[in-house]
Structure 1
């Protein structure tokens, strides 16, 4: 008896495994368009398991792919006879539609839709089947009927997705907004869903649709989520001042929203909207007693002032830093402010010795290894500023040894390479950069690759490496904020080494320095020269992108900006600028970005 049972189990297991292999083989044939081969397998499978719903559905699909509609109908009718249901009615209707028998198709579709009146629990499955066949108007009809029959359920999210597929953006927004009202907890997922349809251009048609609907909602029922959505829209449009108005109103109603005001200040600051950022940071100073938020706001305000300061304003900034240290002390809590002050002293006030002395007192605090590494990194940067390269390398190497494989250790390794490059030790710099090409930080990896290519492309130009040494010196001048000296030295390279491989890099570096000095026409001339004379060189896509940005942001020439963004889209599809160039091109053209 046990032997017979074991034999039956063995046979059943073998048969199940065989069937599974057949299904996988049949599906593989189906996916690759080998429908005749798939047909043989699924006809055999349905003979062995005539009541299998899945096997029969795949068989129907294969018959339809082969335009054997009568055979498909026979299988459909067989399934209907086993278990009548509205899904099979839709499949039968679609089989008629494929034959061009639209009247019969619609008769079946209408019957499936009418079935909802009797059994509303079929709403989702019927609508989804219509969606599977791209019969979106039918699906909309089912969901709308569902809203009337089952008012306790919500179908707005499904309708919104269908309207998105149809390109009916206004109705899509309307349904997403209704869904927020039904389920406010999903507001962030709705932002993600509609973000592809929104542009930076406030006059874009889609932006207008959404803004109009939100403003109407705010007037009708001023719930906090409408203000939050409107604030979010203004951020997408980079209208940070308008977003702040909404956030202030939200803060008055719920102090829990304060973190969003802090986040908005950071976004405006990072996007160089200094006036709005200053306004928000000052509001933060007036509105909270949280020491962390206060210190961060003070620091950001000082950084904005420093970036826009002339030499006469520096003493006042210095005084402000020191008054903050008097108020909050020099402790672990104020370490970010101490780092900011050290950077200010070295790079802006040009007192590197005072900066180093100040930062060395920070190392005596009870700080973590990572915080200690941040201080040492800045101390090493200041030593590079002073051209004390060997001392700087000691600090960078300490960070690498103490925090192996951490992001800050990788940054230190890159700075070892950069310092060696400034020194003219190109072989050692190149060996460090080879390691960093696979850095977990994409930014460091990209910077490492760019510097490695600069060195490897130019170090063999002549045995003395004069041009590369001059270029590295100009790069150091730029780092030291000696912009005029850097531009002059780059000019010298262009005169003495014109036509050599370093020429395009020199033109590009000089163009960026011209932009820093707001000499935009000179920057434009350099980019255009690269595009004209160095079409085959590695910086050609960089030149197109930076020139497009220059036209778009500084020279108010959107047509020329579009021209250069378009060149990247069509000629440099593997460029790191491709995605951003395409987005900006579409925005300038007035497309919805989706």
Structure 2
């Protein structure tokens, strides 16, 4: 019983303290320092060893320019509590009084306290840093590491050097900290990333590269190769990154995962020539079947994407050679599905593709592997506009793999197929469920399609424009881009007052980009910006148009203006972070 009463009493006291503390903070934040001082004195009287209350009392005295009162309080405190950080507070109080002699005297006392107990370093350094006394903070950390070499304050020092603009010292400190604490490497990269850009000619990029090369000469360590590779990736210089990754692999040949990751990044950034070179290296180097098949698969995807129809026979033969070499069994499933997709969507051999996949289903596959095959079969049937048959395959996946990501993907394809059919009501009902999908990509796609249907289904009782748009969408899915563009033109000419016009302009612009018709895409994006400034596609249009100006039309100043629009007027845009990064790179910031 007594124990319960004690706990209740403790909770009551804690609650009272927190309420009083909140009152004091509120007065202080409002600038009502007299009342704040009164409240902090009460709190200090109840808890005279609370560092937070002590510091707030001193600061409040100083806000009221009661420097003598703060001095008396601190001198009494120093006699009562041996806490060297109070020397810093007293020194700073003297500095506020313009008594620099006494200020420096107490600063030195704080620094000298490390000779008695090096563990004072953190609290003393923090007090110096709180008052932006950065040189003194550096002195404390450096002295502590001399007195006790196992201490590592390189991370703290790096941040201070960054604040001072001493970028070279900052880089050195960060990588030396990472050397001793490799688990922190990702965090270190994030901090360094604020000081470099995509531009390899950026002063800080050159400086960071110089620091790493110097380290490599002085004390070889794979960490320096890894950091150099990372720098080159930020600069999109994937060929140089590949050289570093090969150097790492030659000394640590246990895994090719880093090189695989680099290949994927190069593909995502559309640096396909370098990606092909990396995949070829993987094929030549890998000892395991999985990595070899992975590289062959990706190499064929790149080749297919870049090829014209007169080269499809060569691609077809490569698939057949791979099946001859590796066999048709579950381990080559991804390659088999890719081959069927190639036959149907590129080589116009739809029946052969379906026969091939139906034979694949006869292999001893898991339910998930069967689902991958059925998803492709469904897509091929949609390509043929055999929507009902496609829905059968998608529905089977939903039934057999409930709540899985593949099941959610199948549900999305059910919705998309229903939308292609013009059954917008059923499509919308499926999309509502998918808004909560565990896959963010599926959830986003579902939301986009649902908004398209919802925003346009009531505009026209016959839903003519929406049906035309879904027809264009289907044609694009069927790789019939020219026909899709013509259907979208019909919407733009005959449904000028309907809200779907913005969507039609955007979809058409994307198709123009795929056909490398960048001036036409530019016109569409400009029309969206001019006429649909309050619509949901305006930030997309700004970003896409900026990308065209920057990458294809060689007009960086125009791109910069568009990125700026996103930064200042669309802070909730998914493009905000990337737009800010690109804007700063175009502006030529030395430090972000």
| TM-score normalised to structure 1 length | 0.93
Does the CA contact (< 8 Å) of 1:26 and 1:38 recur in 2? no
The equivalent position to 1:233 in structure 2, one of 231, 234, 237, is 231
CA contact (8 A) 2:232 2:241 kept: yes
Matched residue, 2:309? 311
Q: Does 1:166 align with 2:164?
A: yes
Q: Where do 1:400-479 residues align within 5 Å?
A: 400-479=398-477
Which residue of structure 2 aligns with residue 3 of structure 1?
Answer: none
Runs of 4+ in 1 over 6 A off after TM superposition: none
Which of 25, 29, 53 is the matching residue for 1:31? 25
Matched, 1:295 2:272: no
What is the CA-CA distance between 1:387 and the residue it aligns to? 0.2
CA distance in 2, matches of 1:222, 1:47: 58
Measure how far apart 1:62 and its partner are.
4.1
1:583 and 1:45 mapped to 2: Cα distance?
A: 46
Name the CA shift for 1:196/1:408 in 2 (closer, same or farther; >3 Å): farther
Listed as ranges, the matches of 1:533-552 within 5 Å are 533-552=531-550
Matched, 1:561 2:555: no
Relative distance call for 1:350 and 1:484 in structure 2 (3 A) is same
The answer for the alignment partner of 1:480 in structure 2 is 478
- 2:278 matched residue in structure 1: 280
**Root-mean-square deviation (CA), in Å?**
2.4
Matched, 1:329 2:327: yes
Task: Give CA-to-partner distance per residue, 1:563-584, whole Å, 9 cap, x none.
Answer: 1111222222232222222221
What is the SS of the residue equivalent to 1:255? coil
Match in the other structure for 2:13: 19
Instruction: Give the Cα separation in 1 of the matches to 2:324 and 2:171.
Output: 52
TM-score (norm 2): 0.93
Quote how far apart the aligned CAs of 1:273 are.
Answer: 1.0
Correspondence 1:345 to 2:343 = yes
Distance, in Å, in 2 between the alignment partners of 1:98 and 1:393 is 77
Asked if the contact 2:566–2:576 (Cα under 8 Å) also holds between the matched residues in 1, the reply is yes
Over 3 Å counting, the alpha-carbon distance change for 1:266 and 1:375 in structure 2 is same
Give the superposition deviation at 1:45: 4.3
The 2-side partners of 1:354 and 1:10 are apart by 78
Cα shift readout 1:402-451 (whole Å, capped 9, x = no counterpart): 22222222222221111111111112222222222232322222222222
Contact in 1 for aligned 2:25/2:36 (Cα 8 Å)? no
Q: Is 101-110 or 179-188 further displaced after alignment? A: 179-188
Matches for 1:367-406 after TM superposition, within 5 Å: 367-406=365-404
User: What SS does the aligned partner of 2:447 have?
Assistant: helix
Evaluate the alpha carbon distance shift between residue 13 and residue 263 of structure 1 in structure 2; reply closer, same or farther with a 3 A threshold.
closer
Q: Secondary structure at the match of 1:115?
A: helix
Q: 1:494 aligns with which of 492, 496, 500?
A: 492
Structure 1 residue 18: deviation in Å?
4.2
SS at match of 1:94: helix
Deviations 1:136-185 (A, max 9, x none): 22101112223433345433222112212334322210112333444456
SS in 1 for 2:479: coil
Partner of 2:131: 133
Unmatched tracts of structure 2, length 5 or more: none
Distance 2:452 2:46 in 1: 68
Deviation at 1:15, TM superposition (A): 5.4
Partner Cα distance (1:474, 1:434) in 2:
23
- 1:133 is displaced (CA, Å) by 2.8
**Cα separation, partners in 2 of 1:465 and 1:475, compared to 1, 3 Å:** same
**How far 1:347 sits from its partner (Å)?**
1.0
